[in-house]
Structure 1
Amino acid sequence: MAGPTAMRLSSVLALLQPALPLILGLSLGCSLSLLRVSWIQGEGEDPCVLAVGEPGGPQNLDSGTQLDQSDEDFKPRIVPYYRDPNKPYKKVLRTRYIQTELGSRERLLVAVLTSRATLSTLAVAVNRTVAHHFPRLLYFTGQRGARTPAGMQDDTYVQAPRLAALAGHLSINQDLYLGRTEEFIGAGEQARYCHGGFGYLLSRSLLLRLWPHLDGCRGDILSARPDEWLGRCLIDSLGIGCVSQHQGQQYRSFELAKNRDPEKEGSSAFLSAFAVHPVSEGTLMYRLHKRFSALELERTYSEIEQLQAQIRNLTVLTPEGEAGLSWPIGLPAPFTPHSRFEVLGWDYFTEQHTFSCADGAPKCPLQGASRADVGDAVETALEQLNRRYQPRLRFQKQRLLNGYRRFDPARGMEYTLDLLLEAVTQRGHRRALARRVSLLRPLSRVEILPMPYVTEATRVQLVLPLLVAEAAAAPAFLEAFAAGVLEPREHALLTLLLVYGPREGGRGAPDPFLGVKAAAAELERRYPGTRLAWLAVRAEAPSQVRLLDVVSKKHPVDTLFFLATVWTRPGPEVLNRCRMNAISGWQAFFPVHFQEFSPALAPQRSPQGPPGAGPDPPSPPGAEPARGAPLGGRFDRQASAEGCFYNADYLAARARLAGELAGQEEEEALEGLEVMDVFLRFSGLHLFRAVEPGLVQKFSVRDCSPRLSEELYHRCRLSTLEGLGARAQLAVALFEQEQANST
């Protein structure tokens, strides 16, 4: 019996042997989970809760109450959305930044005490050296001895990055009066105030407590110094004096001697100072800023070298080893394309020309910012070569043989330069060398460009020029306008510009726009209070600029125009982006719409393609396959008939065009220009072109007028042909046509 039993046991163990590690792991995991649950659910007391509830804490409450209070600030308060059906719909205006909507406050507000005598000198120097580092900078002016609490004086140089870092380590919920301490004359040792010349920090909580006592301090305290008056007010009313150290953070300052050269100052107190005082003139302020900026730059380079050394040492321990180390060390590796469409191209250039032009030309002069960029890259390469090989070799540039550059979105701008150099040895021997160098201008911290503030409350005036050939498509535009603008009650108006030919719409002839006028009247009836204006003009060769001239004269200069076409489908998102991107006196916006392909070449797709099917042509963002698959399409970069701009900016550009071109030359120019070309050539505004996913246009056969200029006609034909379908779809259509012809 023992023999068969042992054999059966050994066979069972042999079968279970591969699964034994899994069984042991599950058993061990379940055991540890049960033990952890028993520890968590134990009846022990939380030492952290007891520490909060001790008499030395803020309040002597029971542990449960303390825990609830500490967690209360971190629980989100969800306000449910409720719309009263009895009240009219009101559009909610969103703020420009989310921190405004959330009620977030800036971390640091800097106040500067200045005077009328130094407002144009020292105050300007302070603004140029520190304003771009602080979110809020306020200036207070007054007579000598004014009792205005201020954070610093205009004769103080502040090392802004260090001060911002110091403020980031301090709590605004605690009473704080931090600065360089000074004793009152005749007062006790504990009574101190912060010297205003070196600046001081006041917390928001302390200012809120001080606010009710300010009127009493103005009448009771007499002092010729604002900083001493503020210190006495704080001590008398709240019993709080100035401190130079708080929460392990020390406020370091330096008193600059008269006629002292900042370039020669090397003491540790100067090198680590947050504030330097006194600064007698604006030139000295700029010299101090130059010295501290150089110190910060040297410290940054030193930290970069240390980090690169650490990365190099740790790379040996990684699976890839040194082969996985990217250049430059510490920056992301170059972008790796997954298909031939994602390959980043290189732009070729020389010292005089570039062979990648914005207008598609094969060669154009290298000028402006591009020329300065190339010059800076060549100088940096020469500087790095001399730094590496001196004193044995010294290089001098003779000329740039070849240059290549490309923008890598993961790294920055990459350069490859072929330089013809002259190498000079220590003995004076010279020799010409050709060397290839690679450089990278990495992407730095992303910053928000200073732009004028705009809101979403501006009224948009849509302008729709209509030719006789486009009258049949106008009712569809009006229905889309009703659904996207009138139904959600957008703050927008529409003006129809009806363009008659020389022999159309005359006496006894039928009106080609009769259906358009009837559709507009129907919308006015369906939406009470809505008025759709229309203007009738007669033109033999209408141009976009001439038609807009007619509309522009009938509207105020502060009107925001949205120039549309009969295929445009406006909506709330499109109008909001029009308001945000068109800035009066600053920027004009010309969106790039999405053009659907021809249904004959790009049939509607099923929501889920068959297994093994290739990728579909691109679709507009936001498409819903559940409603029937949308057609493929492309963003039409050739079209520029849609745009958002202010009337004042258009009038200024139009006046400049009339001033530079006169008589017959102006008439000929108007035939070959669109509104975007007017802004591009005769305006100093930023011209913003960006894809607009909300503008989706259905495919339609559009005729290009032979009266257009050669450039506009070429762009129109190219837009029409590229809008037929993707290259793969066109290839399939040609193949099927050839197969049909061959049979």
Structure 2
Amino acid sequence: MICVHLRQNFYTIFGMLFGLCFGPILIPLFEEGCFFTDIIRVKSFENDNFMSDDFVPKINLAAKPLKPQKNPQQLLRPRYFTTELGIRKKLFVAVLTTQQTINSKGVVVNKTTSHLVDKLTFFIDAPGSQKLNVSYLKLPGIVGFIDTRVILKPFHVLKYIKDNYIENYDFFFIVSDNAYIKARNLNEIVSKISISERVYASTKIENSQYCSLNAGILFSNSVIQSMVKDIDWCVKNVLQSSSDDDNFGRCVLHSTNIRCQQMVQGNQFSSYFLRNEDDIHIDLLKSEEMRNALTIYPIRKVYTFYTLHAYFSSVDLQQTDKQIAFFRKSILEKSSFTPDGIDGVTWPVGNQPGSKPNDRFDILRWDYFTETHVYLSNDFNNLRRLNEAEREDIKIVINACVEMIQKKYSTVYRFSSLTNGYRKFDPSRGMDYILDIVFQHTTTNERIQKRIEVCKPLGKVEMLPVPYVTENRRVNILLPIRMNDRENAFKFLQQYKSECLEKKEKIFLMLVFIYEYNAPGKGTKDDVFKDLKDKALTLTKMYQRDDNRVAWLSIKLPFSDNQAITEALLSFAIVDLSLKKFTHDSLILLSSCNMEIRIEYLNRVIIIALLKDLKVRMNTIFGWQIFSPIPFSEYNPIIHGLKLPYVDVNKKHGHFDSYNTKHISFYAKDYFITRKRIEKLIPLVKSDSDIRLFKRRDSDGENFTHLVLNTIYGMFVKYGDVHVIRAVEPGVRLKYQEVDCTFFQSITDSTMAALRKNCLNERNTNLGSRSQLSKLLLEYQEQNKLNLTV
């Protein structure tokens, strides 16, 4: 048996023995430097074909390792994805105008064209010795050239486009200011042309191969780039003539070898030459030549621009109505092929359907209204009067309903009254109305009630241009402190130290100490704010190397006969006196001591909820916009019964107080401009003694009451030129603070009555939620019953 196994594994055993015996002898022969390897290497190097092989590695050990001659360039990502992806807008319109006509023709071209194109810019001659004040014209963009040679103006325009806009637009339309532009038709044609097409299109001059500048010339981006490369040749070879068309056309022909095109990819470019401007009649406007023209020229009277624009706008509106009717008819015809059939068609046909609620909390509420009042408009009011905007809106809706009924029944019914009205706003659809209107028959005087459903759909979403802002602006916080705010002020400083100073953020804090008229202070040894001043000095010394400090300003309130008015308008005095310490471009944030700074917001880019979640830096724009957040105010802790070291955004802990307008951010210059306009109502405060001037005069009326109730926020809303953004902001959280309404015990006039009502409303809404107050009331009643029983 053993012999059989040895016979089967003989070769395996023999191989193992052979390897063990001869392995140590053969291994050195195959190491580097052995005889056989050297022979193979020599023969390989002698092979010329082998040396020419590109895949054979060649090692150069001389002067190794080498250092890079220059550091690799760091990749900088663009701010906008459109820049990185090379996405361009469609149409740029350049208007050639003069100083004499920009305030007439330039204004009318702007009104009839700017809202229909992507970009509109005016180019004028602006020699250094002459200055033109165009700020009052409110035009989108005016570019002036020092070179007054009119014949070179088109080439200056080309150079300016190349330097500023060549990467942003696909097509450029250059035209003089004496031509009316059908911007809608031009946009429609441009959208159909491929961006790869080389376009030099317009109306061709008679007996020439060039396009007319007066009629307007459309260029593609590629043609503009080719012309700019040869612009030196174009300028040197300018011919002295009364028309720019020849010189411009010669430049295009030399640079691109393209002649004037009157049709591009099936799109016709035509203009209408208006021989007699005074002889415009309806037959001329309806003619085929006028209807197909993209531009109409020459026009010398501004009235003619408006006449043409009014007619062609009405034609476009009629065409749009026909298209809407056609699409609605198509939807109804094809609805039978859909799963829901005719029942799945929304009303109005083709409009966005309403949002479908996921649960009962998402159901949109219908508000009941009459011609004068609205009922249960929010959770706090049962009834309130309609404001001016709401009354105007309801009036427009009722008039539309009456017009529809009279048209349907041949004016046999006339409007009598509105019985019931319901409205609902759907962010995905628009405003819906259900109206019960009473009509009266014109002959029989019979009264009949009809229910009419009305929809005001949302229009196309538009992007509003807003100035660019960054997060690098220093924020200057004004913190008013009264005698009863000292405890909260210490807590605020402690949080400010840990969240702001230790993080080396760009923030400046100014404490505004407000002394009562009978309180010791402002430098005395019995200063009521001495501890806070010492704390501010300590923080400043600790962080002065980081250019972070805490300053203060002291305000002494004079004795006033009308203390309630003085207290209400005190924020004007605080800002008036504080802004003396700041420049006009300073970003100011008015705050309060009971505001809470939360640690979890430190994980974001900017430091605290006050600055990042409030978005002060991004929402406050110099010369454009101020920001007033709606803070989350804590309920009375005794009533909600929850003892937390912080304010939690929860309906049991508090609510968003829409009546609170004390927190507001703005730029100093915007404040001064608006403050000047109310100086007669509320005098500027230049010293502490000026605060006694805060009193009502008989001639002030409602404007003074509005400012007393809403202070700085109301000033910007009613008298400011800047936009006001007001929104719910969960990053601003206010601890509960008692509201004192003792100043308003005696009501002497309407202003005092409004102040008392406002104060009581603020005090009551911050006590607790309805369920908490009702529970407290029931407990109180139950306790009284027990006491009576005992």
**TM-score for the superposition, normalised by structure 1:** 0.72
Aligned residue number for residue 323 of structure 1: 343
Aligned residue number for residue 27 of structure 1: none
Q: Structure 1's 106 and 366: CA in aligned 2 closer, same or farther, altered over 3 A?
A: same
Q: Structure 1's 661 and 437: CA in aligned 2 closer, same or farther, altered over 3 A?
A: same
Report whether the alignment pairs 1:123 with 2:127.
Answer: no
In the TM superposition, 1:294-333 aligns within 5 A as: 294-333=314-353
Amino acid at match of 2:435: L
* Equivalent residue for 2:115, pick from 132, 142, 152: 132
Aligned residue number for residue 461 of structure 1: 476
Q: Is the 8 A contact 1:401 1:418 kept in 2?
A: yes
Q: Structure 1's 531 and 642: CA in aligned 2 closer, same or farther, altered over 3 A?
A: same
Q: Is the 8 A contact 1:602 1:729 kept in 2?
A: no
Deviations 1:578-620 (A, max 9, x none): 2443455554422111235567747599xxxxxxxxxxx9649
Instruction: Give the Å deviation of 1:460.
Output: 2.7
* Equivalent residue for 1:473, pick from 488, 492, 496: 488
Aligned residue number for residue 503 of structure 1: 519
The secondary structure found in structure 1 opposite 2:512 is strand
Q: Is the 8 A contact 2:213 2:245 kept in 1?
A: yes
Deviations 1:470-491 (A, max 9, x none): 2222233224334554455544
Report whether the alignment pairs 1:112 with 2:95.
Answer: yes
Aligned residue number for residue 591 of structure 1: 629
Instruction: Give the Å deviation of 1:465.
Output: 0.8
Instruction: Give the Å deviation of 1:269.
Output: 4.1
Report whether the alignment pairs 1:690 with 2:727.
Answer: yes
Q: Structure 1's 516 and 507: CA in aligned 2 closer, same or farther, altered over 3 A?
A: closer
Query: How far apart, CA to CA, are the structure 2 residues paired with 1:370 and 1:148?
Result: 51
* Equivalent residue for 1:164, pick from 187, 200, 203: 187
Amino acid at match of 2:185: R
Instruction: Give the Å deviation of 1:233.
Output: 1.2
Q: Is the 8 A contact 2:635 2:736 kept in 1?
A: no
Report whether the alignment pairs 1:284 with 2:310.
Answer: no
Instruction: Give the Å deviation of 1:535.
Output: 1.6
Q: Flag the structure with larger Rg.
A: 2
Query: How far apart, CA to CA, are the structure 2 residues paired with 1:517 and 1:572?
Result: 25
Query: How far apart, CA to CA, are the structure 2 residues paired with 1:694 and 1:295?
Result: 51
Amino acid at match of 1:119: I
Query: How far apart, CA to CA, are the structure 2 residues paired with 1:466 and 1:284?
Result: 63
In the TM superposition, 1:413-424 aligns within 5 A as: 413-423=431-441
Report whether the alignment pairs 1:239 with 2:257.
Answer: yes
* Equivalent residue for 2:578, pick from 548, 551, 574: 551
Q: Is the 8 A contact 1:486 1:527 kept in 2?
A: no
Deviations 1:415-443 (A, max 9, x none): 3334444556xxx8886544332221110
Q: Structure 1's 347 and 549: CA in aligned 2 closer, same or farther, altered over 3 A?
A: farther
Q: Structure 1's 175 and 535: CA in aligned 2 closer, same or farther, altered over 3 A?
A: same
Amino acid at match of 1:154: D
Amino acid at match of 1:109: F
The secondary structure found in structure 1 opposite 2:308 is helix
Instruction: Give the Å deviation of 1:261.
Output: 2.8
Instruction: Give the Å deviation of 1:525.
Output: 0.8
Aligned residue number for residue 9 of structure 2: none
Instruction: Give the Å deviation of 1:388.
Output: 3.5
- Indicate the larger mover: 303-312 or 164-173: 164-173
Q: Is the 8 A contact 1:602 1:632 kept in 2?
A: no
Q: Is the 8 A contact 1:588 1:687 kept in 2?
A: yes
Report whether the alignment pairs 1:525 with 2:562.
Answer: no
Deviations 1:328-372 (A, max 9, x none): 11123344553267442325132x6666899969454764x4444
Report whether the alignment pairs 1:210 with 2:227.
Answer: yes
Q: Is the 8 A contact 1:462 1:563 kept in 2?
A: yes
Instruction: Give the Å deviation of 1:111.
Output: 0.6
In the TM superposition, 1:95-106 aligns within 5 A as: 99=82, 105-106=88-89
Instruction: Give the Å deviation of 1:262.
Output: 5.6
Report whether the alignment pairs 1:667 with 2:667.
Answer: no
Query: How far apart, CA to CA, are the structure 2 residues paired with 1:575 and 1:550?
Result: 24
Query: How far apart, CA to CA, are the structure 1 residues paired with 2:268 and 2:309?
Result: 21
Instruction: Show structure 1 runs of 5+ residues with no match.
Output: 1-78, 84-91, 186-191, 606-616, 621-630
The secondary structure found in structure 1 opposite 2:552 is strand
Instruction: Give the Å deviation of 1:632.
Output: 5.1
Q: Is the 8 A contact 2:510 2:551 kept in 1?
A: yes
Q: Structure 1's 254 and 82: CA in aligned 2 closer, same or farther, altered over 3 A?
A: closer
Report whether the alignment pairs 1:383 with 2:403.
Answer: yes
Q: Is the 8 A contact 1:357 1:364 kept in 2?
A: no
Amino acid at match of 2:496: F
Q: Is the 8 A contact 1:262 1:291 kept in 2?
A: no
Q: Is the 8 A contact 1:253 1:275 kept in 2?
A: yes
Report whether the alignment pairs 1:635 with 2:656.
Answer: yes
Amino acid at match of 2:331: I
Query: How far apart, CA to CA, are the structure 2 residues paired with 1:435 and 1:494?
Result: 63
Query: How far apart, CA to CA, are the structure 2 residues paired with 1:114 and 1:678?
Result: 40
In the TM superposition, 1:569-580 aligns within 5 A as: 569=596, 571=607, 574-575=610-611, 577-580=615-618
Query: How far apart, CA to CA, are the structure 2 residues paired with 1:299 and 1:176?
Result: 29
Query: How far apart, CA to CA, are the structure 2 residues paired with 1:378 and 1:680?
Result: 29
The secondary structure found in structure 2 opposite 1:330 is coil
Amino acid at match of 2:579: S
* Equivalent residue for 1:249, pick from 240, 243, 267: 267
The secondary structure found in structure 2 opposite 1:378 is helix
Report the count of equivalent residues: 620
Deviations 1:7-46 (A, max 9, x none): xxxxxxxxxxxxxxxxxxxxxxxxxxxxxxxxxxxxxxxx
Q: Structure 1's 482 and 176: CA in aligned 2 closer, same or farther, altered over 3 A?
A: farther
Amino acid at match of 1:127: N
Q: Structure 1's 683 and 413: CA in aligned 2 closer, same or farther, altered over 3 A?
A: same
Taking only aligned residues, the RMSD between alpha carbons, in angstroms, comes to: 4.2
Query: How far apart, CA to CA, are the structure 2 residues paired with 1:373 and 1:145?
Result: 54
Query: How far apart, CA to CA, are the structure 1 residues paired with 2:511 and 2:348?
Result: 58
Report whether the alignment pairs 1:706 with 2:742.
Answer: yes
Amino acid at match of 1:695: V
Deviations 1:440-472 (A, max 9, x none): 111001223455665545443210011222222
Report whether the alignment pairs 1:179 with 2:179.
Answer: no
**TM-score for the superposition, normalised by structure 2:** 0.68
Query: How far apart, CA to CA, are the structure 2 residues paired with 1:267 and 1:198?
Result: 19
Quote the sequence identity (%): 27
Q: Structure 1's 497 and 388: CA in aligned 2 closer, same or farther, altered over 3 A?
A: same
Q: Is the 8 A contact 2:397 2:454 kept in 1?
A: yes
Aligned residue number for residue 225 of structure 1: 243
Amino acid at match of 2:733: V
Amino acid at match of 1:139: F
Amino acid at match of 1:238: T
Instruction: Give the Å deviation of 1:690.
Output: 1.3
Q: Is the 8 A contact 1:524 1:530 kept in 2?
A: no
Report whether the alignment pairs 1:267 with 2:295.
Answer: no
Q: Structure 1's 486 and 170: CA in aligned 2 closer, same or farther, altered over 3 A?
A: farther
Amino acid at match of 1:568: M
Q: Structure 1's 515 and 82: CA in aligned 2 closer, same or farther, altered over 3 A?
A: farther
The secondary structure found in structure 2 opposite 1:138 is strand
Report whether the alignment pairs 1:568 with 2:583.
Answer: no
Query: How far apart, CA to CA, are the structure 2 residues paired with 1:242 and 1:604?
Result: 81
Query: How far apart, CA to CA, are the structure 2 residues paired with 1:480 and 1:443?
Result: 45
Q: Structure 1's 602 and 559: CA in aligned 2 closer, same or farther, altered over 3 A?
A: same
Instruction: Give the Å deviation of 1:507.
Output: 4.7
Aligned residue number for residue 155 of structure 1: 178
